[in-house]
Amino acid sequence: MRRVLTRAATVAICCNPAALAPAPAPAQTPGPSPAPALVLIKAGRLIDGRADAPQSNVGILVEGERIKAVGPLAQVQGQGRNARVVDLSAMTILPGFIDTHTHLLLQGDPTAQSYNEQLLYQSTPYRAILAARNARIALEHGFTAIRDLETEGAMYADVDVKRAVNRGEIPGPRIFASTRAMAPTGMYPIVSDNWELELPHGVQPVDGVDNARRAVREQVAHGADWIKYYSDRRYYFGPAPDSVLHSWVNFTDEEAKAIVDEAHRLGRRVAAHAIGSDGIAAALRAGVNTIEHGDGMTDSLIDVLAAKGVYWVPTVTVSRYVAGPRGGPWGPMVEHQRQAMARALKKGVKIVLGTDVGGFPWTELNQAKEFEYYVQYGMSPMQAIKSGTSLAAELLSQPDIGAVAPGMYADLVAVSADPLKDITELQRVRFVMKGGVVYLSP
């Protein structure tokens, strides 16, 4: 028998599609979330980032993304009977490394030409693709956290890369972004004699106190974790007997103080590119938290750093890399910085590892080369390791990274030999874990 729908029924069904839908299934109470996975790491040696001596035959119990227990292997094994075991008993375990000065969006700029070519001939999307590659390189080299100190004309693309890492779209370290950085008009590349051309800006041009505060607010609104500005440019040694490395200061004191004050008011810290003694002094007057490069550091400036607790990030690797191609004062600047670092260490200045990778190509040198230079410049191997782990975490105000201890994020690296005997071993990382996830294994 053919069923016939009345017009009223047809209209009711057409206007209410739910009438054709099957009855909903009874609601189910969601079950409990599965317990985080347990991983037991057997460490032959542990350098935990805080203690002055390594430990032997250590167990590290990881639960989810954090460390649950650290101690003698026999003791920790009892807490993780059902844990998956990662046997690194022939290796040395350390906290994940932290590089506090990187440029994900830059691929080396030893000369003005190499810098200009990137800004003029590479689109921001293309540069962001290379930045994603660079994030992976950093992680595979053992750097589980980085402070990326500006995009060099790529706007806020560092924040995009950070978000992609945080959302698990791409592998990479924990990224603390500073976005665009700042310099006054005409005081940062690209600068041309042809006034008819509107060229890309390597930084955000900022002039005047009000614009300085506005620029900080804009960058914070777009995701800046740190604020960076360029305190100086044009570096030169004074005539004999003046052996001081001088520089031209970019901002007025009022402008620089406005940048720092507004950043601090918004809960952000400030890094200052300051190479010459004049630029360093101006940055310290403004109240910055970190001095980047600092080649022209003098004894009196070292005293100010020590008294105020300002961190110095010397970026030795890039200084040595660009000295040859740039010529002029850049060669003598290397030795000037080496001597200043030795004096600063004796006075207790907080010297933190930062490489300025991007100033040298990500694909050419391992960032961990910086550890080697610090030992050559007077640090003990343990001091150098702490500069790139626990002290770097302190600079970042990140108490959950930089050490191997219960409650910390499970950011771990392993090397085959003892870096306290050969610091170059840190350039040969064999195992990388970030947040409990293994990204590199032997």
397 within some domain: no
What's the confidence (pLDDT) of residue 4?
36
Measured over the CA atoms of residue 335, residue 341, residue 342 and residue 344, the dihedral's sign is positive
378 within some domain: no
Same domain, residue pair 41 and 56: yes
136 within some domain: yes
376 within some domain: no
- Last residue of one domain, picked from the residues 367, 391, 426: 367
Q: pLDDT tens, 135-150?
A: 999 999 999 999 999 9
Dist. CA 282–CA 301, nearest whole Å: 11
Task: Confirm if 439 and 378 have CB atoms less than 8 A apart.
Answer: no
Query: Is the per-residue pLDDT at 10 higher than 90?
Result: no
Domain count, the chain: 2
Same domain, residue pair 355 and 410: no
Dist. CA 383–CA 278, nearest whole Å: 29
Q: What is the mean pLDDT of residues 4-13?
A: 37
pLDDT band at residue 8 under the 50/70/90 scheme? very low
Same domain, residue pair 122 and 68: no
Q: Which two three-digit tokens encode residue 63?
A: 């639960």
Same domain, residue pair 86 and 198: no
17 within some domain: no
Query: Is the per-residue pLDDT at 16 higher than 70?
Result: no
What's the confidence (pLDDT) of residue 355?
98
What's the confidence (pLDDT) of residue 30?
60
What's the confidence (pLDDT) of residue 425?
98
Measured over the CA atoms of residue 215, residue 218, residue 222 and residue 224, the dihedral's sign is positive
28 within some domain: no
Q: pLDDT tens, 21-60?
A: 444 444 555 656 677 889 999 999 999 999 999 999 999 9
Task: Confirm if 377 and 316 have CB atoms less than 8 A apart.
Answer: yes
- Last residue of one domain, picked from the residues 367, 394, 411: 367
- Last residue of one domain, picked from the residues 367, 386, 416: 367
Q: What is the mean pLDDT of residues 363-387?
A: 98
pLDDT band at residue 12 under the 50/70/90 scheme? very low
Dist. CA 40–CA 90, nearest whole Å: 15
Query: Is the per-residue pLDDT at 179 higher than 60?
Result: yes
Query: Is the per-residue pLDDT at 3 higher than 80?
Result: no
Same domain, residue pair 54 and 113: no
Same domain, residue pair 189 and 286: yes
Same domain, residue pair 255 and 151: yes
Dist. CA 337–CA 296, nearest whole Å: 7
Same domain, residue pair 148 and 291: yes
Q: What is the mean pLDDT of residues 287-304?
A: 98
CA 124 to chain centre: 20
What's the confidence (pLDDT) of residue 32?
64
Does 9 or 26 have the greater pLDDT score?
26
Query: Is the per-residue pLDDT at 353 higher than 70?
Result: yes
Name the average pLDDT for the chain. Answer: 93
**Residue located via tokens 């010459």:** 276
Phi, psi values for residue 266, rounded to 5° = -95, 10
Query: Is the per-residue pLDDT at 161 higher than 80?
Result: yes
Same domain, residue pair 90 and 137: no
What's the confidence (pLDDT) of residue 385?
98
Q: pLDDT tens, 103-139?
A: 999 999 998 899 999 999 999 999 999 999 999 999 9
What's the confidence (pLDDT) of residue 36?
85
Element containing residue 195 per DSSP (H, E): none
Strand arrangement, sheet containing 311-313: 204-205, 182-183, 226-230, 269-274, 290-293, 311-313
CATH of the domain at 424: 2.30.40.10
26 within some domain: no
Same domain, residue pair 92 and 108: no
Domain residue limits at 53: 35-96+402-442
Query: Is the per-residue pLDDT at 267 higher than 60?
Result: yes
What's the confidence (pLDDT) of residue 71?
97
CATH of the domain at 301: 3.20.20.140
Same domain, residue pair 251 and 276: yes
383 within some domain: no
- State percent of the chain over pLDDT 70: 93
Q: pLDDT tens, 187-206?
A: 998 888 888 888 889 999 99
Query: Is the per-residue pLDDT at 374 higher than 80?
Result: yes
Q: pLDDT tens, 223-242?
A: 999 999 999 999 999 888 88
Same domain, residue pair 169 and 83: no
What's the confidence (pLDDT) of residue 60?
98
Dist. CA 179–CA 138, nearest whole Å: 19
CA triple 250-227-391, angle to 5 deg: 110
Q: What is the mean pLDDT of residues 286-310?
A: 98
